[in-house]
Amino acid sequence: MIYDFITNMYFTGMTHGGMIHLSRAKEPEVFRGFWLFFCISKYLKEEIYMEYEISNRLSGVHGSMIRELFKLGASKDIISFGGGNPSAETFPCKEIEEIAAKGLGENPVSLLQYGLSEGYTPLRDTMKKYLEKKEGFDFENNELFIVSGGQQCADLTTKALVNEGDVVLTEEPAFVGCLNTFRSYGAKLVGIPMEQDGMNINALEEALKANPDAKLLYTIPSFQNPTGITTSLEKRKKVYELCCKYDIAILEDNPYGELRFAGENVPTIKSMDTEGRVIYAGSFSKVMAPAFRLGFLVFNKSLTGPLTVAKQCTDVHSTVLFQYICNEYINNYDFDKHLEDSRKVYEHKCNLMMECMKKEFHPSVTFGHPEGGLFVMAFLPEGMDSAPFVREAINRGVLSVPGAAFLADESQKSNGFRLNYSTPSDEQIVKGIEILGKLTYEWIK
């Protein structure tokens, strides 16, 4: 700043703030010496700043392209299909306000004082009952912790199980947030290509054979981020069998599970788990509110100790007030109806986007029809790179995320681009897809 100030002063020949009474016109030599001194001191000052050496584990991880795009989407007059925000109209705002007032009015200290690392006991009990009934989970052999969002499920699991250099197998494309978590512990990612009904099973078995020491398979079987694909029951069984055969743990990430608006329910992989092999990650972000930063982790009891330690070392415990609000809401309000209403919102937005895509996109652009969740991925014809397409679309005012962001090796090309339908308004969906559609016709000759 001093440098800029002096330089500025030098070129304008003016003083500033009355502190230095010199000007180029009046005493040029003196001033030039003065200026030189400041330039040198700036140089010296920069020289003595500490140079940090970033840890190996983080050196290879880039900031989330999506969260950077999110800022772009928020700051410019742009139609954003780039984010992954749940639809704000589904947040039970009034009820949250009501329960917060009740809790903070009646018993503030218990909601504001340090809580347990494992989570708020009443919410843990509620979720156990809920998952026992709804998903058939076995809490004789499993434990449930409340953690700080779905992201922390991946963070704690990786911290506890994955050494630097260990292989993590993952669907490809896959949720980049968790890929970055694995990378941030020095894991080596091996991608298993996705098909319309889940991972390519042969590729999975090949990868398991080729990586006998792989620690974890990462999957979002329902309404996958980024593709919107739901893994079929048959493939879920096959995935579980193979992981048993090759003795590898599964991280089943199910943040969108409650948001099914079409098709038949498919049992979770965790519900098939007789060997304590599946670590199940759930989230309150899509059924309550993302800024609660609450999720839950279900795992074989043998992991209770290490995961407690992992949680203590990371953020001690998750916010108690929001755990209280979730618990009160699930038990004393109409949670089922809330979910039903939310699903309708997502169904409407998804169907609208799909209709527009069918109408506007060049016929050689392919895409599936999600049965739930927040995302769909569209694919340009084989061999095309979606990155320049997405860039050009941004120039025209529409944001989406290039598929390469979701690859195990981000330097590879992808012909896919991810579209989020939960955040934009109906008008934005119609207009944005129209713009993208025109671009597909220009792009595909």
Shortest distance (Å) from residue 185 CB to a second copy: 8
d(CA 65, CA 258): 27
Provide, rounded to whole angstroms, the least separation between the CB of residue 280 and a second copy.
Answer: 14
Residue 372, helix vs strand vs coil: strand
Q: Give the torsion through C-alpha atoms of 402, 408, 414, 417, to 10 deg.
A: -30
Residue 26 to residue 37: CA distance in whole angstroms: 19
Minimum separation from the CB atom of position 159 to a second copy (A): 6
Among 122, 276, 368, 397, binds a second copy (CB under 8 A): 276
Is residue 104 within the footprint of a second copy (CB under 8 A)? Answer: yes
325-384 positions binding a second copy, by CB under 8 A: none
Q: Are 271 and 123 in contact (CB under 8 A)?
A: no
Asked if residue 135 binds a second copy (CB under 8 A), the reply is no
Stretch that binds a second copy, among 174-182, 234-242, 331-339, 399-407 (CB under 8 A): 174-182
Site mask for a second copy (CB under 8 A), range 286-315, x = bound: ---xxxxx------x-xx-xx-xxx-xxxx
Q: What's the burial of 229, exposed, middle or buried (CB within 10 Å: 0-12/13-18/19+)?
A: buried
Determine if 112 is a binding residue for a second copy (CB under 8 A).
yes
CB of 327 to a second copy, least distance (A): 14
Please list every residue from 44 through 103 that binds a second copy, using CB under 8 A.
48-58, 61-64, 67, 70-71, 83-86, 88, 91, 93, 96-97, 100-101
Q: DSSP labels for 58-69?
A: HHTPPPPHHHHH
Give the interface segment with a second copy, choosing from 150-158, 204-212, 258-266, 386-394 (CB under 8 A): 150-158
- Using CB under 8 A as the binding rule, the residues of this chain from 373 to 412 that contact a second copy are none
Q: Do the beta carbons of residue 142 and residue 301 sit within 8 Å?
A: yes
- Per-residue DSSP letters for 60-98? TPPPPHHHHHHHHHHHSS-EE----PPPGGGS-HHHHHH
Letter string b/e over residues 45-59, b meaning 16 or more CB atoms within 10 A of that residue's CB: eeeeeeeeeeeeeee
- Paired tokens of 324: 């209280």
Please say which residue, 315 or 385, places its beta carbon nearer to a second copy: 315
253 forms bridges with which residues in the sheet? 281
Q: In the complex, what is the shortest distance from the CB of residue 21 to a second copy, in angstroms, rounded to a whole number?
A: 25
239 binds a second copy (CB under 8 A): no
- Tell me, by CB under 8 A, how many residues bind a second copy: 91
Nearer CB in complex with a second copy: 78/307: 307
CA separation for the pair 330, 334 (Å, rounded): 7
Residues in 197-236 that interact with a second copy by CB under 8 A:
215
| Shortest separation between residue 58's beta carbon and a second copy, angstroms | 5
With a CB cutoff of 8 Å and minimum separation 6, the contacts of 244 are 275, 277
Helix (H, G, I), strand (E, B) or coil at 215: coil
Instruction: Please answer whether residues 167 and 192 qualify as being in contact, where contact means their C-beta atoms are separated by less than 8 angstroms.
Output: no
Q: Pick one of 80, 170, 180, 400: the residue that binds a second copy (CB under 8 A).
A: 180
Counting contacts by CB under 8 A, is residue 249 touching a second copy?
yes
The one segment of 158-166, 233-241, 335-343, 424-432 that binds a second copy by CB under 8 A: 158-166
| CB closer to a second copy out of 112 and 210 | 112
Bridge partners (DSSP) of residue 299 are 143
**Least distance from C-beta 178 to a second copy, angstroms?**
9
Smallest distance, a second copy to C-beta of residue 19, A: 18
